[in-house]
Structure 1
Amino acid sequence: MKGGTDRDGDKGGVGPKHTNRLFKEQSPYLLQHAHNPVDWYPWGQEAFSKAQAEDKPIFLSVGYSTCHWCHVMEVESFENDQIAQLMNDWFVNIKVDREERPDVDKVYMTYVQATQGGGGWPMSVFLTPDLKPIVGGTYFAPEDKYGRPGFKTVLKRVKDVWNSKKDALRESGDQVLQQLAEATSAVSTSQDLPEALAQQAVQLCANQLTRGFDSKLGGFGGPPKFPRPVEIALMLQRFKRLEQNGNQSSANKTLDMSLFTLRCMARGGIHDHVGGGFHRYSVDEYWHVPHFEKMLYDQGQLVNVYLDAYAISKETQYAAVARDILDYLRRQMTHPEGGIFSAEDADSAEFHGAKRKKEGAFYVWSSQEVEEILGKERAAVFAAHYHVKPDGNCNLSRMSDPHNEFVGKNVLIERQSLTETASKVGHSVEDLAEILGRCREELFGYREKRPHPHLDDKVIVAWNGLALSAFSRASRILRMEPESEKYYFPVTGCDPKEYLAAAEKVASFIRSRVYDEKAKRLYRSYRKQVSAAPGFLDDYAFLIAGLLDLYEAGGDTKWLSWALDLQSAQDDLFLDKTGGGYFSTPEGDPSILLRAKEDYDGAEPSGNSVAGINLLRLSSLLWGDKSEQYQRTAEHVMTVFEARVREVAMAVPLMCCAFDMLAAQSKRQIVIAGVKHAPDTEALVNAAHCLYDPDKIILQIDETDAATQEFWEVNNPMALKMARRSDEGKALAYVCQNFTCFAPVSDPQSLEKLLKSPPSAAGKVSTFKLGSSAK
């Protein structure tokens, strides 16, 4: 097997026929191509110098190790000796892992999207020796078909045009890059964000999303259906604003769209019912037949929106899905020292010893297999609930299996509720849930014996930041679950405190393995050793967000101190201090020809959106000049994306959330004063987390702890002064709005009641004001 980790243990006995320079790399994707007959180079000066010395164009291929169509192009073209010979004769060939080098990917994906109207992976771009784009695309079949040129034809055309029109190609590349730089490096025209736009941003985006809502099957658009958690996050924030304004009917409609979508996704085949976690997307409208790869960035974000759904609805079905994902990550995707691996492949061998892999082979089932594993009686119950059919079930839509790859196979999907199934099979709902859980566990055990999909065991900082946030928030929000609640495999049913321990291990892994303490700089990733690539904006922003959530959950100021160090580094490396906004990449690498300010909140949120929210949270946590500085920076960042929000808000839902947070009339700071981890303190911290509130920030202050005292003395002495007022050693909670604090409460019920009150509710205030306005 090639690259990374294929956990089926089948390594074969014949040595490789070819070996190229990629065999020295750490990236699983590059290692997958180390034995192609193509003379691949990694991105770097050796390749650039060769292209310049020989005056050859560069063929750049960008992908990632769990990319299905990357595998297809490798098999069809890069393992083909004839095509490899053409590539080696005419081009200098470079392979890039887009997860390891998102800076390289961003430059040329921007070009491909601008010139082709869309993009994807594998990305195939031809460059001049000085790295200017000539022509680009995505997957190319080896031969001409369906009126499209094949890869052989494209290679010959580019070679011929290069030989006859080099100067024109170079000039064209210069012009294209200049245009792209102007389009992607927008600057603010004002330091002030229009108040009306900030207040309306979430509404604008919600209105646009609502127009595309699928009322029958969930989601905000047609197939293929991607789980885009930022859309749900936006809709939940809109729900909260409508509720706060007394418009309960509209609030309920907005909430219903979000909850319905989350339920449809959880019941669909995009959800791995046997092993937990979610696949990348479904090819059909039913959330049924997925593209089977599993990406860490999906898992972390999905946990957070399911947690929000649970906090709002108090329905344990949403808590169960959050646990399902987290337990999958702990069971299948965690480095022994705590970091979370990046992805699992869509493809795997159908049986041990098979030379070729097939998409979904690890995950699909025949009806006969299910019956042999579970026995006839239980298999009938299982089949009734998960829509298992003797002739296969991948025919719900004409889009589900257009190439007849899954004939006779079943992708598990819940087409009915437990209650409906229970009435049909003659069991109680409780008994049925237990039976199905045991069935899933037995199927999991059987599935584990199959050849596993390739595991990309890179630990990427940005994606670990998303997971860190998920584990941290789950450790508190899930403590409100009823003690009587029962969970069944693949949910472990652990004490939520275990999720806090997992979060701390993630943070410790990143700090010890991927962070330079002396320089206060991050690297991008870790696999056996730290990557050469630096940390990018999303690495800093996503990790800072995760650390803020970890602090709010656990109360340890060391994570907050680290977040402040990272924010300072982020500002030094990426902030456009004149024009506003953050560049995605640091300065200093001459091979990166374009520094863009990313704004699209897609499968992953934009670094600028997350950074804007981080700055507002930090401003609420701190006091004095630092608080005001973070507030000003947030405003300046957001002014860069004002036009984007006005014109196409649904492209930037998380940025719209940041605008909304900036305009929020009342930001709630909840100060918990008490001995850390003491029962009375814990009860108040749990209560502070139990309600959905996008405006709240939680400060845990233990005045008996020297490190905590030192941190707050420097960063928010007013909050520390308040914490010292706790009576008789009893934990107290202060709820502060607009820098004015209500009288403290000491029991969780009173705190919950106070938090449920409208932001404008009157109450007896303390004599202390919290925040920069108290200077």
Structure 2
Amino acid sequence: MPQNRLANETSPYLQQHADNPVDWYPWGEEALNRARAEDKPILLSIGYSACHWCHVMAHESFEDPATAQVMNELFVNIKVDREERPDLDRIYQTAHALLSQRSGGWPLTVFLTPDDHTPFFAGTYFPREARYGLPGFVELLHRIDALYRTRRTDIATQNASLRDALGRIEARAAMSDDRLDASALDQARGELARAYDRTYGGIGGAPKFPHAPTINRLLRHWSATARDGRADDKALEMAIFTLERMAEGGLYDHLGGGFARYSVDEKWMIPHFEKMLYDNGPLLALYAEAHAATGDPALARVATETADWVMRDMQSPEGGYYSALDADSEGVEGKFYVWTREEVHQVVGADDYPLFAARYGLDRPANFEGQWHLYGAAEPAALAAGAGLTEDALRERLDRARARLLERRETRVHPGLDDKVLTAWNALMIRGMAVAARHLGRADWADSAQRALDFIRTQLWRDGRLLATYKDGRAHLPAYLDDHAFLLDAVLELLALRWRSADLDFAVQLADVLLEHFEDEAHGGFYFTADDHEQLLQRPKPTADESLPSGNGVAAYALARLGHLLAEPHYLDAAQRALQAAAGVIGQSPSAHCTLLDALEEELDPPTLLLLRGPLAELAPWQQAAAGYAPTRLTLAIPSEERGLPAALADKPAPARGVYAYLCRGTHCEAPITDPAELHKALG
């Protein structure tokens, strides 16, 4: 079968549709011009490679010649990967919500007028034949065509209202006169407590997502109150219990490490099996930080297994991190991950099977379509006591069984790998690896993060501008707010782990691009697309945390930290303007803006800068003295061999012998400390 126009795209999702009989176009001038010239509505289909229902709709409709014939006759058909084009996805998901008054998702199916690309009908998955209360897809196609041909005036009126509504959303993102103070931090804490699931952890009910910004906010809230001598131990309990329950549930891969996208149930037992890089980067950082805060070895174990999985399965030979693993293998969701009792018994052996079965739920009823998906069914301490074993002995036997099962699982047909490299998602994992390496002392994780950053600088940084995606030697698409903000934050975390002057230079370049091309200079805050980006139906300025942290929140947080580090007021001012611009929406729903609240916390109480200067070989004991969970402290160890530092760093020189530790809060720096024990005491 001849391939359509998607065959030459970098997106694995688009390539999956290259053999469809549908005359697919990628988003671009060729398709838009044809729709305008032929006066045909645009059928815009947005999805991603690891999306189960995207596969279902593709198999039912897009691979069907009869359905494709109707699509080709009546519409210009455009297929978009929401991971490569989050700008389009963000706009048309918002439009879907306005048109349908319900939340969206993927696949997103939108019908646009050909002249101005305004959506006049939107939905998500449609079956080939009518069911689930939904019309059949071919029936829908004919109805949409008739609507477009006979009701142009009504469509024009609705489109004008929709564009007006999108404009009002933009206007709400303008600078607010609301006062910024610490009350929003306490309000968010209260909102999260009210939505907290006291039985199983997490926020809200099923489906339940591992929402890293909210857990991070609870950890930071506890830390801030502890510094003030009024430790909010309940906030710590909510964060840690959620992390524990997620790791014990089937959301976590107990054999290979890493977390699935979400749990379909409130107990975290059965996941939607896709694994996304953007979830695992922030979760890796969280588990390492939670271990640093509590000393719990179980949290360190989860971080270790997750980081090792990323390096084993998700890092390319070139250095970049891949995007996702599919939920399906051999066309069946979860098939790669589930077991029969007989196969587990055969693999782990008769001696270890009873303990393994009790630990991971095989001694209980099947939990996934007649088979077993592993989850923490029994606590190791109780299981060890019942078996007359020490916990170490039990762990050794379970680890041996897990290794055997992982080896067996590797012989199965693997889920599809989305091997494109996305700048924003790589930044989240670079940061996760750097944070975990710093807290858990793993040089190989630091190397992994450094390789990924070097890959991005080599392949996706061109002529002073960042690109969004890379695959098979081709980098393209202008980068978005998230790419720049997340990468700036990641570079700062990597600098806190290993100093490289070139990385600081790169951070400054990224910050300058953010200010020059993304900032709303009139009202503050940052647009999702650059000022020279393709003109679309809307230019959003997103503030809330969604499946990814808020780009405005991360930008404000990272720019402020860079401003304090370099004593550069223009970075600090941009961060403050972004916070003021978002003050109104923060006030309406503080807990929906946890990343912005992290930036607000450091705006109200500037972070501590700890600068270590001395010979490279002598810095390690000082870094160890500064170890621990301190989310509002930025520690940098700069070898005395470094030359050409910015003025704010050069004025804190290394001594002739030994090491100096400069402890700065805001604009005030104390006299240099010359003994690691004295530093440890000064840090409390």
1:36-62 residue CA offsets vs partner (Å, 9 max, x unmatched)? 111111111111111111111010000
Paired letter, 1:595: R
* Gap change, CA 1:187 and 1:443, over 3 Å in 2: closer
1:324-354 residue CA offsets vs partner (Å, 9 max, x unmatched)? 11100000011102110000000001xxxxx
SS at match of 1:136: strand
Pairwise mapping of residues 471-550 of structure 1 onto structure 2 (< 5 A)? 471-479=433-441, 496-516=442-462, 519-550=463-494
Match of 2:59 in 1: 75
1:384-410 residue CA offsets vs partner (Å, 9 max, x unmatched)? 110114752x1xxxxxxxxxxx33211
Match status 1:182 vs 2:168: yes
1:105-150 residue CA offsets vs partner (Å, 9 max, x unmatched)? 1111110122222110100000011211111011111222243322
Match of 1:646 in 2: 587
8 A Cα contact 2:293 2:628, kept in partner: yes
Match status 1:751 vs 2:661: no
From 236, 245, 266, the equivalent of 2:228 is 245
SS at match of 1:524: strand
Match of 1:35 in 2: 19
* Gap change, CA 1:39 and 1:306, over 3 Å in 2: same
Match of 1:672 in 2: 612
Match of 1:712 in 2: 646
Report the CA distance between 1:426 and its aligned residue: 3.0
Report the CA distance between 1:226 and its aligned residue: 0.4
Match of 2:556 in 1: 612
1:540-581 residue CA offsets vs partner (Å, 9 max, x unmatched)? 000000000011110112111101001111111211111111
1:222-278 residue CA offsets vs partner (Å, 9 max, x unmatched)? 111100010011101111222122223xx1111011111100001000000011100
- Which whole-Å CA distance do the structure 2 matches of 1:552 and 1:478 have between them? 14
Match status 1:298 vs 2:298: no
8 A Cα contact 2:260 2:274, kept in partner: yes
* Gap change, CA 1:170 and 1:305, over 3 Å in 2: same
SS at match of 1:198: coil
- Which whole-Å CA distance do the structure 2 matches of 1:368 and 1:334 have between them? 34
Report the CA distance between 1:317 and its aligned residue: 1.5
Q: TM (normalized to structure 1)?
A: 0.86
Count of residues paired in the alignment:
682
8 A Cα contact 1:188 1:580, kept in partner: yes
Pairwise mapping of residues 355-754 of structure 1 onto structure 2 (< 5 A)? 357-389=331-363, 391-392=365-366, 394=367, 406-479=368-441, 496-516=442-462, 519-590=463-534, 592-623=536-567, 627-664=568-605, 667-676=607-616, 678=617, 680-688=618-626, 690-706=627-643, 710-713=644-647, 716=648, 719-724=649-654, 726=655, 728-754=656-682
Report the CA distance between 1:750 and its aligned residue: 2.7
Paired letter, 1:218: G
Match status 1:214 vs 2:197: yes
8 A Cα contact 2:561 2:607, kept in partner: no
- Which whole-Å CA distance do the structure 1 matches of 2:438 and 2:533 have between them? 42
Report the CA distance between 1:602 and its aligned residue: 2.0
8 A Cα contact 2:608 2:664, kept in partner: yes
Match of 1:323 in 2: 304
Paired letter, 2:672: P
8 A Cα contact 2:515 2:574, kept in partner: no
8 A Cα contact 1:701 1:720, kept in partner: no
1:731-770 residue CA offsets vs partner (Å, 9 max, x unmatched)? 12122223333343344333222112xxxxxxxxxxxxxx
SS at match of 2:645: helix
- Which whole-Å CA distance do the structure 1 matches of 2:532 and 2:679 have between them? 50
8 A Cα contact 1:267 1:413, kept in partner: yes
- Which whole-Å CA distance do the structure 2 matches of 1:66 and 1:511 have between them? 27
1:669-723 residue CA offsets vs partner (Å, 9 max, x unmatched)? 10101123x1x212212332x22222212233333322xxx1223xx1xx42332
8 A Cα contact 1:198 1:662, kept in partner: no
- Which whole-Å CA distance do the structure 1 matches of 2:282 and 2:327 have between them? 20
Match of 1:485 in 2: none
From 229, 232, 245, the equivalent of 1:264 is 245
- Which whole-Å CA distance do the structure 2 matches of 1:98 and 1:40 have between them? 16
Match of 2:150 in 1: 164
- Which whole-Å CA distance do the structure 1 matches of 2:52 and 2:5 have between them? 23
1:610-646 residue CA offsets vs partner (Å, 9 max, x unmatched)? 00101110121012xxx21111111111111111111
Report the CA distance between 1:587 and its aligned residue: 3.0
- Which whole-Å CA distance do the structure 2 matches of 1:649 and 1:226 have between them? 19
Pairwise mapping of residues 68-147 of structure 1 onto structure 2 (< 5 A)? 68-116=52-100, 117-130=102-115, 131-147=117-133
8 A Cα contact 1:674 1:730, kept in partner: yes
Structure 2 segments unaligned to the other structure (5+ residues): none
8 A Cα contact 2:450 2:494, kept in partner: yes
* Gap change, CA 1:146 and 1:277, over 3 Å in 2: closer
Q: TM (normalized to structure 2)?
A: 0.97
- Which whole-Å CA distance do the structure 2 matches of 1:39 and 1:208 have between them? 48
8 A Cα contact 2:26 2:79, kept in partner: yes
1:336-390 residue CA offsets vs partner (Å, 9 max, x unmatched)? 02110000000001xxxxxxx1000000111111011111221111101101147
8 A Cα contact 2:287 2:302, kept in partner: yes
Paired letter, 1:704: E
* Gap change, CA 1:185 and 1:549, over 3 Å in 2: farther
- Which whole-Å CA distance do the structure 1 matches of 2:150 and 2:49 have between them? 36
Pairwise mapping of residues 10-49 of structure 1 onto structure 2 (< 5 A)? 17-49=1-33
SS at match of 2:378: coil
Match of 2:139 in 1: 153
CA RMSD of aligned residues (A): 1.6
8 A Cα contact 1:186 1:640, kept in partner: no
8 A Cα contact 2:497 2:636, kept in partner: no
1:195-215 residue CA offsets vs partner (Å, 9 max, x unmatched)? xx4312221111101001111
8 A Cα contact 1:292 1:359, kept in partner: yes
SS at match of 2:589: helix
- Which whole-Å CA distance do the structure 2 matches of 1:100 and 1:176 have between them? 25
* Gap change, CA 1:348 and 1:189, over 3 Å in 2: closer
8 A Cα contact 1:67 1:293, kept in partner: yes
Report the CA distance between 1:668 and its aligned residue: 1.1
SS at match of 1:29: helix
8 A Cα contact 2:60 2:128, kept in partner: yes
Paired letter, 2:634: I
In terms of mean alpha carbon deviation, does 739-748 or 322-331 score higher? 739-748
8 A Cα contact 1:524 1:531, kept in partner: yes
Match of 1:344 in 2: 325
Match of 2:218 in 1: 235
- Which whole-Å CA distance do the structure 1 matches of 2:624 and 2:276 have between them? 30
SS at match of 1:93: strand
Match of 2:265 in 1: 284
SS at match of 1:341: coil
Paired letter, 1:287: W
- Which whole-Å CA distance do the structure 2 matches of 1:375 and 1:63 have between them? 43
Report the CA distance between 1:497 and its aligned residue: 1.2
Paired letter, 1:387: G
